Structure 1
Amino acid sequence: MFAKLARSALVIAALGVAGCTESSVQDFAPQHANKQLPAKIIAEMRAKGMNKNAPIMARIFKEENTVEIWKQKTNGRYDIIASYPICKWSGKLGPKFTEGDRQAPEGFYTVRPSQMNPRSGYHLAFNIGYPNAYDRANGRTGSNLMVHGACSSSGCYSMNDPQIEEIYAFGRDAFQGGQTEFQIQAFPFRMTAANMARYRNDPNYEFWKMLKVGYDNFEITKVPPKVDVCEKRYVFNQVAPEGTTFNPSGACPASAQPDALKVAYSQYQSKYDAAFASALNSSNPAPKPTILGTKEAALVADWSKRRARGERVTMDPPSLKSDGTVVETTTRMGRIDSPLGRKMAALDAEKAAAKKAAEEKAQAVAAAKAAKEAEKQRIAEEKAAKKAGKANAIAVVPPEQAAPQEPVTQTASSDGNMVSKVRKRLLGLFGG
């Protein structure tokens, strides 16, 4: 139990750094890797003339957000048996260019039994085989690109767990039936005339035109095309002369196609050309964002490296506009959840706490100083008020405190009358 817990912790820690990296620890296949397909799908297989262990093929459409599973019928042709909405895929429309650009690949890939991972940290998974011969010939890099569960993607095609259980079961059953490898065709969108017209001015258009040849071959034959690479490009259903091979970086041999296929393809292309011309004059939905080549891929890859080192970066990767302007969403910043990222985040938190404490101390000092100045001002105002009050008391005597002039006059007159009376009395006494 302890070993399993420890292994789970290591897997979780690795997921944040390496995106879709898988654990290499060997263990018994978990029960969900052996889950059987639902009875409803088994019944539909019978109705369409398919055996449970017959070969399969998968198609992925980014814009339509869809994974399709096709299965071989008893007549040798393939028919669709299941379709699933993609829970999450990473990046934009367009191919994967370099490690860390977070682009989900586009192209023709091969899955063998060794690429099936029942012990994936993403519930279940299988590696799609990127980089293939085309990618390597064109200098494209990357690793661990999966179709997996857990609905979390950093360059993969992620499904929810019940969906990946069914998709995994289709592959497992086909391998048990003797299929040695199955093909995955990954496209930016359904390669209809209307969609090709929508994206005719996109920098990835020539790449998509090349993929469309393989798309068309399957639409015509309902059999996965034979895929080779020469002159750094895909070629489909070509047969090389005996003794020659397809060299991914070398010149293409003087190959040929079966006559029946050439006729069918020519007829198909004529209808497509007419539909494409008509689509040019129609109002179609606006194109979705696409990756603008190796320059934008390098920008995102650098962002991924800095994020993996635990640096504080924008939550979303940068993107490139058609005029060459770099667009970054700087309103949301963060770090990857890794040991290094958590350590650096802790340092950030410590610095932020120290800064906040210093700001609060400065605010407290300023507030105390302001309070002291206010108290000084109040005391000064009180002293000034008292001083002004005394001056007013001296300069202005209240009316009730002033000596009235009339009573003074009356008092003097009263004293004179008294003297006169006394005088008369004395004169009367002595005969005067």
Structure 2
Amino acid sequence: MRLTVLAAVSLLAVAAAGCTNETLDTFDKADVDLKRVSSKTNYQLSPSVLSKMSAMNMDRASPIMLRIFKEEGRLEVWKADRSNRFQQLRSYKICAWSGKLGPKMKEGDRQAPEGFYPLSKANLNPNSSYFLAINTGFPNSYDRAQKASGTNLMIHGACSSSGCYSMTDEQMLEIFAFARDAFGGGQSTIQLQAFPFRMTAENMARHRDNPNIEFWKMLKVGYDHFEVTKRPPEVNVCEKKYVFNQQSDKPFSAGGACPAMTTPGALESALASYNKTYAAAYATAMRKYDGTVWIEPSEAQRKAIVADQRKGRELAYAPTGNSLDAGKLMTEREIAEQKRKAEEAERRKVEAAERAVREAEEAKNKAAADFAADVAAEKAEKLAKGEGALPVPEQNPGMAAVEKKEKKSFWQTLTGGSQPRRVEEAQPMVNGTAEQATLQGGQPSVKAGETAISVNKTVETNTDAVATLPVAGGEAGQQVVEETTKKPFWKFWQK
């Protein structure tokens, strides 16, 4: 029994290795010369492909199934033989797929879909902007139950992806022809199976820490059904999950409870044997990967390893490579050390930023201090030379005080009551100098040592004469103009 299990595991390993063996590319590269293709939608498969189909006991118009494995970057064409079991006919390198492993959840996340998708003839798009295209049908009933969103998720040519699986134009010409011929032969639905990787025991153990592992375990059930039967499984959705090859008298509802279901006896028996073999292989793989973690690469890291493939191509040509070449298996110790280095680098980055801010502030303060010192030194130098002394604050220039006697009324003349009042009038400055006449203590003044010529205008308020009086305690040249009241004519005898 043990030898049987080991043999089965060995066969699975050889099959998996064979699918990624680059020697297969000698045939699996599309042998198409686009320059000789007059109609891409009516392209006929090459004689070499038809010859291989005949050797594998396949009819030209027999049903097909498509399988995608993101991690390896492979798209496989499986075709039914005359016993109605499917065999792998083609295995193409996917030229470009975007995002990382895992399902597509929302518009714009750049994720390529994972799951089971039924393709009808309406999914073929001969007028695609990307040469030719086949719509994946995303979102399917499972995706909608998960409230996933996205549109126009295709398998197409042009080798450029933003959520799609993009092939070369030569590959797409053949894939489109396979689908066209199958629909022409009566196939109503082509099943597309999109997986993150081949769901072997070793790959499941290697990805056991991925946050999508529970979703992948669900997909693995459908994967296993095909591995056992070599026929596309019947797919339904209930309770927001996939169910495969389940028989029920009631319909399935994606969001509703699953009806009573049964698995065909022969299939159940075959699956039991398959799962026993798988469990043994998984235990071996877990011992192999114990203490390790698979570090999945980013899309940019995948692109970096195939950058040379873009040379001499159009800018839109953007191969992405595969995750197996760009990823890395690391021990927990290596991960811890890498994390420590990353944290140390981040700490140094923060310290450098803080130091830069501090140095900039210090430089700013020093510049301000140097400027203040320069201003103070310049001021001291001017003071030492007698320059730059500030003038005493003064009133508005050009203003002088003129004292005027109020005009007496008849009764004020009899009583002799009168108080002088001051009137300020603008005094023009002469000789274009900057001298100022300033009100100090209510009296006009001229600075000592300076000459100011003012014109005193006598305000006509019935005054007789103007007397100029010196100002007690005032500066030299400071005078007050006093006006006397004009006497009535009947007091001419008074002096």
User: TM over 0.5: same fold?
Assistant: yes
Distance in 2 of aligned mates of 1:110 and 1:153: 21
1:31 correspondence with 2:33: no
Q: Map 1:26-425 to 2 at 5 A.
A: 31-241=39-249, 244-283=250-289, 286-289=294-297
Distance in 2 of aligned mates of 1:82 and 1:37: 12
Q: Is the 8 A contact 2:76 2:88 kept in 1?
A: yes
1:65-90 CA deviation, whole Å, 9 max, x = no partner?
A: 00000000110110010110000001
Q: Secondary structure at the match of 2:90?
A: strand
Give the superposed CA RMSD: 1.9
Shift of 1:124: 0.3
Shift of 1:169: 0.4
TM-score by length of 2: 0.52
Distance in 1 of aligned mates of 2:122 and 2:38: 17
Partner of 1:294: none
Q: Secondary structure at the match of 2:118?
A: strand
Shift of 1:177: 0.6
Shift of 1:290: 7.9
Q: Is the 8 A contact 2:125 2:133 kept in 1?
A: yes
Distance in 2 of aligned mates of 1:53 and 1:285: 45
Q: How many residues matched?
A: 263
- Please list every run of at least 4 consecutive aligned residues from structure 1 whose deviation after the TM superposition is greater than 3 angstroms: none
Shift of 1:202: 1.1
Distance in 2 of aligned mates of 1:172 and 1:30: 17
The one-letter code sitting in structure 2 at the alignment partner of 1:92 is K
Distance in 2 of aligned mates of 1:204 and 1:229: 19
The one-letter code sitting in structure 2 at the alignment partner of 1:280 is M
What are the ranges of 5 or more consecutive residues in structure 2 without an aligned counterpart?
A: 1-36, 300-338, 340-495
Q: Is the 8 A contact 1:124 1:168 kept in 2?
A: yes
Shift of 1:286: 2.7
Partner of 2:10: none
Q: Is the 8 A contact 2:207 2:294 kept in 1?
A: no
Q: Which has the larger radius of gyration?
A: 2
Distance in 1 of aligned mates of 2:285 and 2:208: 11
Shift of 1:289: 4.2
Q: Secondary structure at the match of 1:99?
A: coil
The one-letter code sitting in structure 1 at the alignment partner of 2:128 is S
The one-letter code sitting in structure 2 at the alignment partner of 1:118 is P
The one-letter code sitting in structure 1 at the alignment partner of 2:208 is R
Higher helix share: 1
Higher strand share: 2
The one-letter code sitting in structure 1 at the alignment partner of 2:288 is S
What are the ranges of 5 or more consecutive residues in structure 1 without an aligned counterpart?
A: 1-28, 292-322, 324-432
Shift of 1:132: 0.2
Q: Is the 8 A contact 2:209 2:293 kept in 1?
A: no
